[in-house]
Chain A
Amino acid sequence: MKTRVLPGFHLSLGYTLAYLTALAFVPMFALFHKASSLSGEKFIAAVWTERAQAAYLLTFGASAIAAAINIVLGLLVAWVLVRYSFPGKRLVDAIIDLPFALPTAVAGLVYSSLYVENGWLGQYLVPLGIEGAYSRLGIVLVLVFVGLPFVVRTVQPVLESLDADIEEAAHLLGATRGQTFRRVIFPALRPALITGFALAFARSLGEYGSVVFISGNMPFRTEIAPVLIVARLEEFAYSEATAVAVVLLTMSFAMLVLINLLERWSKRHAD
C-alpha cells in the first residue's frame, strides 16, 4: 500500500465500518435471516394475505398519487421562488423545509384535526362529501405534506442554474412563453422532476408517523404496510411482521434502482 500523507486512514475507516456494521448491517442481516427461517409456503402465506395485498396496494398507490401531486405543486412553488419576487419570499423559502423538520407525528395529528368534521377545513369539506380524515384521501394529504420539499428542493437549484441564453434564443426565434416553457424549460427540468418524484415516493413508502394518525388504520381500507407490520408485532407474530417488512424493504430498494435507471435514461434523452 502506498504511503498516505494525511494520518488517520485506518482509524477513521475502521470506525466508520464498525459503526455501520453494528448499527445497520447486523440489524439488516438479522431481518433477512429471520425471514429466511420461514419456509417458502409460510413466507408466502404471511406476505400474500388479502389484508397484506390491500396494504401494499394502498401504500404504493397513495405514495404514487401524492408524489405526482407534489410534482405539480413543487414545480409551481420552485418556479415562483426562483423567477419572481414578492413580499415574504425569503420566509416562504425558509418555511418550505418545515416538513423535513416537523415531527411526522405532529403532522398527522394536526392534519387529522384540520380535516375532521368540525375542523377548520373539514367543516366546509365534509358537507361536500370530502372526507379528509380517517380515509384514503387523508393518507394522500399527509404524504403530500411530507413529500413537498423534496420536489421543491430538487427543482429549485436546476431552475436557478438554467442558462438564460436558451430562453433568449427561443424568444428571438419567435416562440411564445408557453412554447418556450414546454419545449425548452420543461425538458431541462425533467431529470430533476423525476428525481423529486422518486425522493418523495421513496419517503412515502416507509412513512408511518403521520399516516397512523389520519388514516384510521382499518384493515383492507386504510391500512398501509408499515401499520400492518406494527399490527403483526403487537400480536407478537414476529415472523409474519418480518416477512412483510422484507417485502416493504425490497420494494423500497427496487424503487430506488428503477428510479436511478429512469433518471439516467431521462438525462441521456435530455442531452
Chain B
Amino acid sequence: MPTDHLPAGATAVSAVLCSASPLQGSQSHFAPKSEGIIAARAPRVVTVKRLARAADSPVSVAAVAGSPRVAAARRDSPVVRWTLVSLALAVVGLVIVLPVVNVFYEALAKGVGTYWDNLFADRDTRHAIFLTLTVAPVAVAANLVFGLAAAWTITRFRFPGRTLLTSLIDLPFSVSPVVAGLMLVLIFGLQGYFGPWLREHDIKIIFAWPGLVLATAFVTMPFVARELIPVMEAIGVEEEVSAVSLGANGWQVFWRVTLPNIKWALLYGVILCNARAMGEFGAVYVVSGHIAGKTDTMPLRVEKLFQEYNTPGSFAVASVLTLLALVTLFAKAGLEHRTRKEQAEAARWEAEGEKRE
C-alpha cells in the first residue's frame, strides 16, 4: 500500500493518507492493512507525492522554515549545494532533455516540408495515426469503467478478499508486455484455444483491431483504478451515505456526489492511462502482425520505418508521440497544481472554522 515504504513517524505523507479519512478511527477497514506482493508501484507513488505536497504546503513547511535553528542545521555550504544542483541538472539533461531535443532535431532535420510529408503524405503512416487514435480511446474507456467499478467496490464496501482484490488490480504491471501479448495469441491465435472456433465464424482478433484493443486494455488496466482508490478512501463515505439517507438512488449518488468529488483524480488517471495506451509497444507488437496500413499503430510504425532505413520518417512519427507525452506531462503538472491549491484552500477554511469556534 502507498505508505509502506515510509519510516514510522514520517509526518506529512502518512498523516495525510491515514488521517485524511475522517472514518479512520471508527471504521478501520479504510486503513490499508497488509501489503500485497505487488503493492507500491510508481503511479501510486506519484499520488502519494501529490497528497504529501498538498498537505505540506500550508502547515509543516511553514513551521520548518520559521525556525532559524532548524534552517541552520539543514543548510549545506554553497559549494555542496551548487555542485549537487549542477550534477542533478546534468543527469536530467543527459538522460531526459537531450533525447527529447534530439527527437525533434532529427524529425525536422530535412526541413518542415519533408517533416509534413513524412507524416501525412505516407498512406500507411496516416493510417497508423488513425489507428492509434481509435484503439487508445476504446481501451481507455474500458479501463475507465473498470476503474470506477473497482474503486467503488474497494473503497465503499468491506468484504473478504478486499486486500487481495486491491493487489490483483496491479497484476498487469508485473507482466512483461510481450508476455501479455503472447497470452492473447495463445487464446485467440489460429492455433490458440479459441482459434478454430473463431475461424469458423470468421472473426479475427489476433492480427486485427480487437487484438490491439485487448492488448492495450490489459497493459493499461490499473491506471484509473489506482488513482481513484486512494482519493476515494481519503474522501470517505459520509456524503454518499447522507445522499442515500435523503432518498437519492445509486445513479444520483454517483453523478451528483461521487463524480464531482473525484473528477480531478479521474481525469488524472485517464491522462496517464491514455499516454500509456497510445505508446504501448511490446504487447501490441506481438498481436498486431505488422500489416502496414492495417494493424500498425504509431509506435509500431516508428519501428517499421526504422527497419526500412527511413530514419526521418521514423523520427517524424516519434516526434508526434513525444509531443503527446509532453502534453500529458504538462496536463499532469497542471492538475497536480490545481489539487494542491484546492487542498490548501480546504485546509485554510478548516483552520478559520476552528478559530471561529
Contact = CB atoms under 8 A, between A and B. Distances in A.
B42 A260 contact: no
Interface string A177-210: 1001000000010011011000100110111110
B149 A19 contact: yes
A128 interface: no
B331 to A, nearest CB: 10
- Size category, B interface: 35 or more
Contacts, number: 362
Given A31-B183, A164-B73, A144 B95 contact: yes
Contact of B74 (A7, A83, A153, A202): A83
B49 interface: yes
Given A96-B96, A110-B318, A30 B193 contact: yes
Which of A34, A161, A242 gathers most chain B CB within 10 Å?
A161
B53 interface: yes
Which of A86, A144, A270 counts the most B-chain CB atoms under 10 A from its CB? A86
Contact of B177 (A4, A97, A192, A206): A206
B244 A30 contact: no
Contact of A26 (B92, B179, B187, B278): B187
Contact of A24 (B172, B306, B330): B172
A245 B194 CA distance: 20
B10 interface: yes
A162 interface: yes
A76 B321 contact: no
Contacts of A84: 76, 81, 84-85
A84 B179 CA distance: 42
B191 interface: yes
A132 B6 CA distance: 37
A interface, over-half SS: helix
A160 interface: yes
Given A95-B329, A252-B175, A107 B99 contact: yes
Contacts of B133: none
A230 B178 contact: yes
Contacts of A100: 42-43, 272, 275-276
B98 interface: yes
Contacts of A199: 40-42, 45
A233 B283 CA distance: 13
B70 interface: yes
B329 A97 contact: yes
B92 A102 contact: no
Contact of A154 (B5, B169, B311, B332): B5
Q: Across chains A and B, which 4 residue pairs bring their CB atoms closest together, nearest first?
A: A103-B279, A206-B176, A209-B281, A27-B183
7 contacts: A9-B159, A105-B303, A154-B42, A168-B70, A229-B178, A252-B175, A256-B37
Given A6-B240, A161-B10, A208-B282, 17 more contacts: A9-B153, A15-B145, A24-B172, A24-B221, A27-B184, A28-B183, A95-B96, A101-B324, A103-B321, A110-B100, A154-B42, A157-B12, A180-B73, A208-B177, A209-B285, A253-B37, A260-B35
